[in-house]
Structure 1
């Protein structure tokens, strides 16, 4: 398979797969100093409109939300953040990639961008950071969307994701990277894969390619184990949240079961759930159109009430 970067433009790809958008927004690359690190984020849309903060999953980047950002930018001011060690953000010199540090980064990010009150949308790791931030900063959050993450996860699904992330550090070509992702998610279209890979990969001086994140993250992630005490604390965190919350699960997710999703919503104070068909754990890239359609009523409701 031959990949032509010229044909991987975001707007062309979005039009091909039917992403709903009315204006060809182009994101502005920005950087901000947070806790001694320069963090990168993408800014979309009109700053005068309500702000949505997008938080990506482990080993992903702000560009993982590009299709979603393009669609949301018609109605919202969108800030898609690269967590420390991810995308174009600085790597931590002392290898500090704890969830607590990422939460602190987010707290300072919202303050320094003067964007509160915000709508938080977080996938996987980003969902965890998002709901922990929300619980600790209730007055700064309008509403919260948690995507396919919960205190209780399916170990088989977690291990499958880890195996993919830890499989290989370097690739000889973009084509090889696309093939690797296609083997992981064979139901994604070629246009989706090429557009995603082109924005989440970097080429090194020797010609090889890698994903845009600190390799230290892979080692730390392989050692990370959630204890029963951790899970209990996360449940209590979710139970404390008062803002309107939407839990989004992929119908084919092997990370969060339907039963866990229902339990999470029942334990929260003001939550509802929705399932996106044709999507696994990585809902926003597995079925971006389905995801956008699933959150639209929730977002509209927040500004009608």
Structure 2
């Protein structure tokens, strides 16, 4: 299997890091996987590898201000900026991809397709719709801002994740955390995303359910909503609203919280495979 790192050029000249996963002669189509806020493209590695093994060309990309992608010098992290990056990436791919977006990535794809219909070939929203629950969103933000001075050790970071996701087993190896943390000159470990990202995304224009509701009405491509049945971000009510707004959408539930791919990646990937095979092709 081929895995190669590449650079996309996003809006405002930002360099965005990505990985391409594929088997020689992959012909089934292109899938672009967009991570959630505070994550990196590596959160999709298992899914991308599984898709590539079945003949798909899978791309994973670090969002601006995250992972190995450049940070915006002027702190531009609004929904308009993220959608502009997505339009630029699709243009460089040279084909309409199916976009799989978790949380932030899903909001971005929803807005991009709804406001410019025909950009994508299909859409998979991972525990995100046009509106979110305030209590759940606040809990996510508290976690993301909970260590402004970093962590003394990777073990401390693992403890913080365990507190945020109770009931999930701690990983046997902490090496994977190095993909989401960077050790600075003071010797402490910090989340590897631009702190200004949270300031920009907190504005009403980003979270506006009215804007995303209008965008949802413009979606006419095959769409799958994967909802965590234990999520405090997306409720059954908001999912039902979304299905009314998007006639081409259907929903599947996974016994997981908001972090579906981390809680039950195998089940999620099985649903994704079924959607790609029966709804998109």
Q: TM-score, normalised to structure 2's length?
A: 0.91
Structure 1 247/215 Cα, relative in aligned 2: closer, same or farther at 3 Å? same
Residue 164 of structure 2 corresponds to which residue in structure 1?
A: 184
Which secondary structure state, in structure 2, belongs to the residue aligned with residue 63 of structure 1? helix
* Residue number in structure 1 paired with 2:214: 236
Alignment check: 8 A CA contact 1:120 1:130 kept? yes
- The answer to whether the 8 Å contact 2:31/2:98 transfers is yes
Is 1:28 equivalent to 2:1 in the alignment? Answer: no
Quick check: 1:131 aligned with 2:110? yes
Query: Deviations along 1:133-184, whole A, 9 cap, x unmatched?
Result: 2224433422110111122211111111111001003111111111111111
Question: Which residue does 2:144 correspond to in 1?
Answer: 165
SS at match of 2:5: strand
For each residue in 1:81-118, what CA deviation from the matched residue of structure 2 results, as whole angstroms up to 9, or x when unmatched? Answer: 1111111100111111111011111101111132x121
Question: Which stretch has the larger CA shift, 262-271 or 239-248?
Answer: 262-271
Q: Is the 8 A contact 1:240 1:269 kept in 2?
A: no
Map residues 288-303 of structure 1 onto 2, 5 A cutoff.
288-302=265-279
Determine the structure 1 residue equivalent to 2:245. 267
Distance 1:235 1:219, change over 3 A: closer
Which residue does the alignment assign to 2:76?
Answer: 96
The residue that corresponds to 1:245 in the other structure is 223
Contact 2:115 2:218 (C-alpha < 8 Å) held by counterparts: no
Distance 2:206 2:259 in 1: 24
For residue 196 of structure 1, report the CA deviation from its aligned partner.
4.5
Superposed CA offset, 1:20-60 (max 9, x none)? xxxxx463222122231111111111474311011111111
Provide the C-alpha distance between the structure 2 equivalents of 1:265 and 1:193, rounded to a whole number of angstroms. 40
The aligned counterpart of 1:144 is 123
Which 4+ residue blocks in structure 1 deviate beyond 4 angstroms?
A: none
For 1:80 and 1:262, the matched residues in 2 are separated by 29
Aligned residues: 276
Q: Which residue of 2 aligns with 1:280?
A: 257
Quote the Cα distance in structure 1 between the aligned partners of 2:206 and 2:184.
38
Tell me the SS of whatever aligns to 2:198: helix
TM-score, length-scaled by structure 1 = 0.84
Aligned match of 1:55: 34
Q: Contact 2:78 / 2:200 at 8 angstroms: preserved in 1?
A: no
- How far 1:227 moved relative to its partner? 8.9
Distance, in Å, in 2 between the alignment partners of 1:137 and 1:227 is 17
The reply on whether 1:80 has 2:60 as its aligned counterpart is yes
CA gap 1:90/1:218 in 2 versus in 1, 3 angstroms = same
Whole-Å separation in 2 of the counterparts to 1:30 and 1:249: 31
**Gapped regions of structure 2 (runs ≥ 5):** none
